[in-house]
Amino acid sequence: MAKPNYNYQKRERELAKKKKQEQKRKSKLERSAKPPLGDADAPAGSEETPS
């Protein structure tokens, strides 16, 4: 019976993690690059309730 190649499996897991982290980083950059659409129209003091 053949021995499992644990080093190969570990390398595959590491590559998958790096790929996922890179995708996450790119999506965060895209979100931060775009200005929020809803906040541009709201006046500055609209969050506070008048007393």
Tens-place pLDDT, residues 2-50: 898 999 999 999 999 999 999 999 999 999 887 666 655 555 555 666 6
In this prediction the pTM is 0.54
In this prediction, residue 9 carries a pLDDT of 96
In this prediction, residue 1 carries a pLDDT of 85
In this prediction, residue 2 carries a pLDDT of 86
Of the candidates 12, 9, 30, 8, the one whose C-alpha atom is nearest the C-alpha of residue 20 is 12
In this prediction, residue 21 carries a pLDDT of 98
Give the rounded distance of the alpha carbon of 12 from its chain centre: 21
Strands (E), 1-51: none
